[in-house]
Amino acid sequence: MTLLELIAGFARRHWRAYAAAAAMLVGIAVLTVYVPRRVGHVIDGLVAGEVTGGALWREIAILVAMGLVIYVLRVGWRLALFSAAFRLGVELRGQLYARLARQGPPFFHRQRTGDLMARATNDVDAVEMAAGEAFLAAFDGTLTLVLVVAMMTLAVDWRLGLVALLPFPFMAWAFFTISRHVHEAWRASLERFSDLNEHVQETVAAVRTLRALGLEANADREFGQRAQRAADAGFGAQKWESAYEPAVGLTLTAAGALTLGVGGALVWHGEISIGQLTAFTMYLTQLIWPMFAAGWVLSLIERGKAAWARLEPLLRAPLSVADSGGVAAAPAGTLRCERVTFAYPAADGTAAPAERAPALAGIDFELAAGRTLGIVGPTGAGKSTLLALLLRHYEPQAGTLAWGDHALPAYRLSALRGAIAWVPQEPFLFSASIADNIALARADATRADVERVARMADLAADIARLPDGYDTRVGERGVTLSGGQRQRVAIARALLADAPLLLIDDALSAVDTGTEARILAELRRARAGRTAIIVSHRLSAVADADRIMVLKNGRVVEEGTHAALVARDGWYAAQWRYQQLEASLEDV
Ligand code: ADP
């Protein structure tokens, strides 16, 4: 869809607002072209001695009244139109947000946050301006041009009209040339602004790291350079835009000179009256607006086009994981993973290169409802990746994942994800009270529910020490919780969600062994009979699982119960001995 199609479609849906604005503009245009004609008549009347005293005052009163009506109509059309154009901004932002909210991690790996924010603000504004001001300025400008030229040629003198319009093709050529540069300059400017936004976002997010490394001066310099580049690009666009005005001035000066020469001769030969020449000169000044409107419209359209070219791909980007499943019922039953192989897509979003080693290769397992599966293995083995596939953040390239009677893609994403409580390694806290953060998945939870799960997650004592207890604001604009506290908030969230499947991704790595053991015991008690997959680098966390899988380089290298694995004397047994020794040393 092009920008013009977008605007046309929008105008069709909001035709009432556009029609009201257009009707008012027609009123303005008719009144405006009528004024010089009336003034011309009055002057001729004055010269002939026909307009005197009271009649002159009446004429002045009429002109003032027409001026007032024009003023009211001008305010009216702007209100009608801009309220509609704002709606386009709201609609576009809504669509953009909905699209982004449904995209998965592969999409966000390719996009930069600051750039997305720039598109949602700056670029949407530019499209909104094209749909509002540009649309009506184009309409108004054309209307005024046609009426004024008609009055000049028909009501005054067609020869004078033709001569006065001679310099205008030059202006059309100049506008065409300038508008091409304006497009390019706006594109560069919008991109530089995105770049600056991206930099600010990244610097703010990483401010502690920058400070810790003493890199503030570098960051300042980098920011200064990017801000300069953004300013230069913005100035570049303005520079080209400012070329419109001299082109208009030049054209009108030439037209004025021609009018004076040819018009003077016509008056001299008695072919037109002085009043007509005065009216003609006034018409010529009325051409200033359509000319400026043309320049303005062109630059707004070019800016809108450049912005739309950046927005459309986002709105059209296919969802990274299709939500085309029809099964709306919550999944239940055995979880099956058959010969699943998966490699991460390349950073640019293209399919994973064949030579890259897959993150998971030929994974097979079956987990009956109510059982617990432990997944262990060295860092980078593919444990988190397997959970990501279960959540359908990514699709495996080969093999199937199924839950109960259906493969995962057969379920609606909302049904599938609603049935899973996922506790990630680094949970995110929203800027809200700690109680609201815990009750994230269950807005209807009572304070008593929240307190119960907080106790189970061994968080109650920590919360009691916060300034406002459960009402303490946490997250970006509140109290900063430690890594271990965040992890326990996430565990409490998952306990409250009470979903059929619990996925814990090494989510207790930042709490001590004793606390971990207590929380896991609570989890087992509270979730007796529910399915769980526990990923952990501490083997004690999975020792009680019904079954344990050891992953290494994306493959299952050992599996069985804790007792069987310890007896096997492989990676698991060695790690177990090492961690036991470590724990006994900690106790000393
Ligand atoms: P684990 O959870 O066992 O530590 P992961 O599942 O996080 O391991 O990672 C498995 C492999 O996939 C690693 O080699 C890691 O570098 C790679 N990987 C993880 N996430 C991504 C990603 N988003 N894009 C590309 N490669 C990734």
3-state secondary structure 465-506: CCCCHHHCEECCCCECCCHHHHHHHHHHHHHHHCCCEEEEEC
What is the average pLDDT score of the chain?
88
d(C-alpha 127, C-alpha 307), whole Å: 7
Q: Give pLDDT, residue 210.
A: 86
| pTM of the complete model | 0.75
Write the pLDDT tens digit of every residue in 510-540: 888 888 888 888 888 888 888 999 999 889 8
Q: Which of 109, 344, 363, 556 to mutate to test the pocket of ligand 1 (most atoms within 8 A of CB)?
A: 344
Q: Give pLDDT, residue 425.
A: 85
The residue-averaged pLDDT of 405-412 equals 92
d(C-alpha 409, C-alpha 152), whole Å: 69
The domain locations on the chain are 3-316
- pLDDT score of 73 more than 70: yes
List the structure tokens of 15.
């035709």
The residue-averaged pLDDT of 242-268 equals 90
3-state secondary structure 82-98: HHHHHHHHHHHHHHHHH
Q: Give pLDDT, residue 348.
A: 67
Window from 323-327, 353-357, 406-410, 467-471 with minimum mean pLDDT: 353-357
Question: Where does the pLDDT of residue 477 fall: very low under 50, low under 70, confident under 90, or very high at 90 and above?
Answer: low
Q: Which of 385, 535, 552 to mutate to test the pocket of ligand 1 (most atoms within 8 A of CB)?
A: 385
Q: Give pLDDT, residue 561.
A: 92
Window from 95-109, 137-151, 214-228, 337-351 with minimum mean pLDDT: 337-351
Q: Return the residue matching tokens 């606390």.
A: 515
Write the pLDDT tens digit of every residue in 536-583: 988 988 988 999 999 999 999 999 999 999 998 899 999 999 988 887
DSSP 3-state assignment of 512? Answer: coil
- pLDDT score of 468 more than 80: yes
d(C-alpha 367, C-alpha 373), whole Å: 7
d(C-alpha 151, C-alpha 171), whole Å: 21
The residue-averaged pLDDT of 272-293 equals 86
Atom of ligand 1 nearest to the CA of 505: 2
Q: Give pLDDT, residue 478.
A: 65
The residue-averaged pLDDT of 187-191 equals 90
Q: Give pLDDT, residue 292.
A: 82
Span from the CA of 105 to the centroid of ligand 1 (angstroms): 13
Instruction: Kindly list the distances between the CA atom of residue 38 and the CA atoms of 16, 31, 149, 502, in Å, as whole numbers in the listed order.
Output: 33, 10, 16, 83
Q: Which of 499, 570, 501, 509 is nearest to 540 (CA)?
A: 509
Q: Give pLDDT, residue 124.
A: 92
Q: Give pLDDT, residue 527.
A: 84
The topology (CATH level 3) of 3-316 is ABC transporter transmembrane region fold (1.20.1560)
Q: Which of 255, 254, 242 is nearest to 178 (CA)?
A: 242
List the structure tokens of 466.
């916060």
Q: Whose CA is nearest to atom 10 of ligand 1?
A: 382
Span from the CA of 538 to the centroid of ligand 1 (angstroms): 19
Span from the CA of 494 to the centroid of ligand 1 (angstroms): 24
Span from the CA of 330 to the centroid of ligand 1 (angstroms): 29
Q: Whose CA is nearest to atom 22 of ligand 1?
A: 344
Question: Where does the pLDDT of residue 230 fall: very low under 50, low under 70, confident under 90, or very high at 90 and above?
Answer: very high
- Whether residue 398 contacts residue 481, with contact meaning beta carbons closer than 8 Å, is answered with no
Q: Give pLDDT, residue 78.
A: 84
- pLDDT score of 343 more than 80: yes
Q: Give pLDDT, residue 296.
A: 84
Burial annotation 260-282 (CB, 10 A radius, 16+ → b, else e): eebbeebeeeeebbebbbbbbbb
